[in-house]
Structure formats: C-alpha cells, structure tokens
Amino acid sequence: MDSPIVLGIESSCDETGAGLVRDGRLLGHAVASSMDEHARYGGVVPEIAARAHVHALRPVIRRALEQAGLGLADLGAVAVTTGPGLSGALQVGLAGAKSLAYALGLPLYGVHHLAGHVAADTLAHGPLPDPCVVLIVSGGHTSLLLVRDLARDPIRHLGDTLDDAAGECFDKVARVLGLPYPGGPAIDRAARAGDPRAVPLPRPLPGSYDFSFSGLKSAAARWAEGHAGRELPVHDGAASLQEAVADVLTRKAVTACTEHGVGTLVVVGGVAANSRVRSLAEERCRAAGVTLRVPPPKLCTDNGAMIAAVGDLLVRAGARPAPLDVSADPSAPLEHAALHPVAPARARAARPL
C-alpha cells in the first residue's frame, strides 16, 4: 500500500514554502519570498517576515496542491518546521499546520529546519546512504554532521561555526562591498568577473572541523575600507571572499569524509547554491574518491518540500506524531530530525561507525 501524502510547511525565515511528498517522491511545491520587502533594511525584519507568512501561507499551499493535481482530501499527514528560526515566523506556519491537521484529522509532525535541508537532497537523488557526511551551510548555520538514518538516529556534530554562519559572512561582506541583499547570490554573480587571488584572505581554524567566519568578514571589511576615496574592485573582493569560504568549507568536509572512512558527502543549505562551493566540492571529492551529492539550487534554499521530505521519512519510520499543543522552538539544537519525542522505544543511541 502507498504511504500517505505528506504536506510540508516551512516558515522559519523569509520564505513561505509548501511541499507534497510521498514515498520519497516530490509531487509538487511552491515558495513565496518576502525577500524584496527586507532588501531596503539590509536583512530580514522579523515582524515583516511573520506578516508576509500570514498572507502567503494559504496561496502557497494551494499552489503546491494545484501543481501536484491534488486536493486537501488527498493529504495523509502534515509536517511543519517547529525550529530553529524567527519566533513570530515559525508561529505562523505552525498555527497553519495545526489548523489543517486538526480540521482534516491528520497526524502532525514537528520538523527541525536543518534536517529539512538534509532531506532536500533525497528528493533529487534518492535515499541517503548510511552513513554520510553532511555539510549544512545556510544563512544562520554552518555545521559538519555525521548522519546515519535521518528519521531514527541521533545526528552527530563533527564541527560547527563558532561565530558567523557562512551565509551570514556572504551577506555581511556583500553589504560592505555595496552589493544588494541577499549577499550570497550577489557575491556569486559579482565573483564571475573577479580574480579569486586578488585579495589575500585568511583560512581560519585549519586542522579543526569547527568553522569561524568573523575574522574573514573583518579582513574583507578592512580591505574594503582601505580603498576609501578610490574605486573599490568589487569583483575581485567578491571572488576572493567566495574562494576563501569555498576553500574552507570543502577542505574540512572532504577531510571529514576521508578521516571517518565515509564515502558520500552531501552539501545542503542556501550556500550550497553557490557556484564555487559546488565546483570546488566536485573537484575535491573527485580527487578523494568521495561521492558528492548537492541538491539543485531551488531545493538548497528554504522550501516546504524539504520539510515534507522529513515528514515522509518520519511517517515511513513509524514515528509518533506531535501533540497538537507542540510549541515552536526558535533556537532548537540539531539532535534529531523530529523536534518532538517520536518513539522513545525505537530511538537509537549513537552507534559507532
């Protein structure tokens, strides 16, 4: 028998996403972004994001259903991001998901946003191998993980950022370079015409799986300030920063694979859409004999399909649904894919590789 169709809802930051997944297959998804409304402030304004989710949620769900040729009556479960993210933004998606689950009599699953980023890749490339190393690089997080069974096993952190996230570094340096928000895509575009060796930038924390991007950000800002009164070679600055970030990320990720004897690297999150991160990861994985998996750019940035993908894995693993009074957790640490106890008897302790 087919497993149920899972509706996934994402609203943790400035994207409102709805996605439909069954048996690991993406049936349809839609995303609305309030990015343009934040651009003039140079960053996401939480209240504006929350209000935009209120307006976008129903149309986005309707568009996802239309794309899949489905109606609400076809749904079998609802999954929603319960954290981490902006509190007000999370509340909107969670309230919507609870309402649907209650009205339709469906089980509800609370999903960790970052587990969603990991699961996004399964929609493009099938089930994840057990084990795999996952590099999550987004606007708020940078983590190197050892992932076993995403629906059942605890997620092991090999390294995390000690300060800024990789995407945050792109966004902040972009501002210094006079590039628009969001900075990552702007730096990616500007870097095409620049020399990645033009500006010497540090490669922080060599020899560790942890990351630090604030020194890199300050070095780029100092370089830009040094051009006061002269024209700033923006393309060279963008290319050099992008090269430094891509170098640090991919070097640590590939080393983690070889040192742990893991054959697959999965790179996910908004910064996985970066062209240099993708090409350098490919080059280094090929040289190390590691299989690289990166979702297509549309599934790298925030979307509802990735949350539906986790919901689908949880449903198929027989996980217990969340109670209808489950709360949002804006600063949830990434320990399990589900953000509520799914089945204590079945949850596994960490297993050695």
Q: Nearer to Zn ion by C-beta: 90 or 234? A: 90
Span 293-312, contacts to ligand KG4 by CB under 6 A: 301-302
10 lines the binding site for ligand KG4 (CB under 6 A): no
Look up residue 300 and give its amino acid.
C
CA distance 169 to 219: 11
Tallying the residues shown for the chain, one arrives at: 353
By CB under 5 A, the count of residues binding Zn ion is 2
Does residue 302 touch Zn ion according to CB under 5 A? Answer: yes
Site for Zn ion contains 236 (CB under 5 A): no
Query: Given the complex with Zn ion, which of 235 and 293 has the nearer CB atom?
Result: 293
Q: Where are the alpha helices (DSSP H) in the chain?
A: 35-39, 46-68, 87-104, 113-125, 166-176, 183-191, 214-225, 234-260, 275-288, 297-300, 305-316
The three-state (H, E, C) secondary structure of 5-43, written as one string: EEEEEECCCCEEEEEEEECCEEEEEEEEECHHHHHCCCC
DSSP string, 265-286: EEEESGGGG-HHHHHHHHHHHH
**How many angstroms separate the CA atoms of 95 and 266, rounded?**
32
Q: Is 142 a binder of Zn ion (CB under 5 A)?
A: no
Question: Distance from CA of residue 46 to its chain's centroid?
Answer: 18
Smallest gap from residue 230 Cβ to ligand KG4 (A): 27
CA distance 149 to 299: 21
Q: Does residue 19 touch ligand KG4 according to CB under 6 A?
A: no
Choose the contact partner of 167 out of ligand KG4, Zn ion, none; CB within 5 to 8 A by kind.
ligand KG4
Q: Which is nearer to ligand KG4, 106 or 274 (CB)?
A: 274
> Closest separation between CB of residue 117 and Zn ion, Å?
6
Query: Does 270 sit near ligand KG4 (CB under 6 A)?
Result: yes
Q: Is 182 in the site for ligand KG4 (CB under 6 A)?
A: yes
182: partner contacted, choices ligand KG4, Zn ion, none (Cβ within 5-8 A by kind): ligand KG4
Residue among 109 and 170 whose Cβ is closer to ligand KG4: 170
**C-alpha span between 66 and 291 (Å, rounded):** 35
Minimum CB distance to Zn ion, residue 138 (Å): 4
DSSP string, 80-97: EEEESS-HHHHHHHHHHH
Q: Given the rule CB under 5 A, which residues bind Zn ion?
A: 138, 302
Interface with ligand KG4 by CB under 6 A: which residues? 13, 138-140, 167, 170-171, 182-185, 188, 269-271, 273-274, 301-302
